[in-house]
Amino acid sequence: MSLLNNKEHDSMRGDILSISARAKKAKLEFKDTIDGSVGAFYSEDKKLILYSGVDKYLKDNASKELAYPPCTGGDKYKESILKYLLQEKYKYFNDKYSIGFSSTLGGTGACYFAFKLFSNPQDSILVPFPGWPNYDLLISTAGSKVIKYNLIDEHGKFDYLNLENKINDLAKIQKDIILVINDPAENPTGYSMSKEDLNNLKNVLAKTNAHVIVLFDIAYINYGPNDPLYIFEYADTLSENVTSLFAFSLSKTLSVYGLRGGALFGFMKKDECDSFTKGANKLARGIYSCPTSVSIGVANNIFSNKDNTKKFNSELENNLRLLRKRDSLLINGLKEVGFKIIQTTSSFYVTFYANNAYELAEKLESKHVFLVPLSNNLIRIAVSGLNIEEISKLPSIIKETYNEQW
């Protein structure tokens, strides 16, 4: 059965920030509160993950980073981010493409820039369901419309046939189509595309006569099953009718959620790159003038220094081991009590199927457990914010509450 049959697919009743606010309020009164709402990475002692390079830089330099940076972040920021992400292929991609680049206020800002700069007014943009609820708001704010494609079919695989139908229908009325691919470790499901999935997507894109702008939302680039370089190597193989954009987030990469750092960049032709650069400068200047200088400084310090990058990667690997342990514990626990899980690989989220999910989530809140219903049969748990003790308790609490309903 297609997940898109749910009436709630276009409204996303489970508002994450509202649920999080209720959880924070509950914590003040109830020590047993379990907050699985917001996707932020916390340590076992419930403190935000803090990388040593970030900590040292902020202590030594935060008060010095108060001047206006360039609207789009500056050349050093661009080089730092791209060299970190593209690794040994940096020169190859830099020589082959004109890489359009702009700093943004987080991955959210990167997505908004893509929707605003690459879509025409009242065009429709394809986003996954289940998907990040904020896509809808960003797209409507940019002046466009949302069309949902089904991310996962009844066999738990990427539903490329549904996407192909959506693209074919849209190609009849639009010459340019923006398609959002949130991979790896998709929010909210944690789903990462397999090689088979990616090959099916490539074939779908090659069949259409439309110009497809694929926005790869890579907020969770470090949390998938593959080396981060794979997504860029994959984009390089796509057909000539495809332009590849990438929305990058410092929030998830460096665990600096409040600094609002990110970037939108793409593999472009020179005329596209020139147009994008001018448009991004104008958009940034017209909305917020410039990015935060501290976020630019933190990224430059870690990603432009090999020793700092090496130390960061080492700490990241330790954190990934912790996240995998939490994921495995929660997935196995939910399966043991009878719930079906959407496939995930060391992501911030675990999503499970449950009938009457909205009612179940409301009932759980009465027991001081805060989760995010995505539709009437799906609930998301932000495992990144839970420690092992909380995860050990959670499946039985969910099952007991589920049984009380029916």
**pLDDT reported for residue 261:** 93
Residues with Cβ within 8 Å of residue 95, at least 6 apart in sequence: none
235-246 tens-digit pLDDT:
999 999 999 999
**pLDDT reported for residue 121:** 87
| 39, 349 contact by CB (below 8 A) | yes
Question: Among 2-16, 131-145, 205-219, 343-357, where is mean pLDDT lowest?
Answer: 2-16
Cα–Cα separations (whole angstroms), residue 379 to 103, 163, 278, 373, 397: 33, 23, 41, 4, 14
The answer to whether the Cα torsion of 43, 44, 47, 53 is positive or negative is: negative
Specify the pairing of strand 211-217 against strand 242-249: parallel
Cis status of the peptide bond prior to 228, with omega within 30 of 0: no
Position 234 pLDDT exceeds 60: yes
Average pLDDT over residues 221-227: 89
Average pLDDT over residues 300-319: 95
pLDDT confidence tier of residue 14, bands split at 50, 70 and 90: low
Write down the pTM of the prediction.
Answer: 0.91
252-280 tens-digit pLDDT:
999 999 999 999 999 999 999 999 999 99
**pLDDT reported for residue 17:** 83
Position 8 pLDDT exceeds 80: no
**pLDDT reported for residue 5:** 42
Average pLDDT over residues 91-97: 96
Position 77 pLDDT exceeds 50: yes
124-161 tens-digit pLDDT:
999 999 999 899 999 999 999 999 999 999 888 899 99
Fold of 3-50+309-405: Aspartate Aminotransferase, domain 1 (3.90.1150)
Q: What is the mean pLDDT of the chain?
A: 91
| 163, 204 contact by CB (below 8 A) | yes
Residue 350 is inside which H or E element, if any?
strand 349-353
CATH number listed for the domain at residues 61-306:
3.40.640.10
DSSP category for residue 175: S
Residues with Cβ within 8 Å of residue 216, at least 6 apart in sequence: 181, 183, 231, 235, 244, 245, 246, 247
**pLDDT reported for residue 9:** 42
Listing from the earlier edge strand, what are the strands of the sheet with 176-182?
Answer: 98-104, 262-268, 242-249, 211-217, 176-182, 124-129, 145-150
Average pLDDT over residues 5-13: 43
pLDDT confidence tier of residue 189, bands split at 50, 70 and 90: confident
pLDDT > 70 in the chain, percent:
95
Residue ranges per structural domain of the chain: 3-50+309-405, 61-306
DSSP category for residue 68: P
Position 47 pLDDT exceeds 90: yes
170-184 tens-digit pLDDT:
999 999 999 999 999
Are both 3-50+309-405 and 61-306 of the same fold? no
pLDDT confidence tier of residue 13, bands split at 50, 70 and 90: low
Rounded Cα distance between 279 and 47, Å, is 39
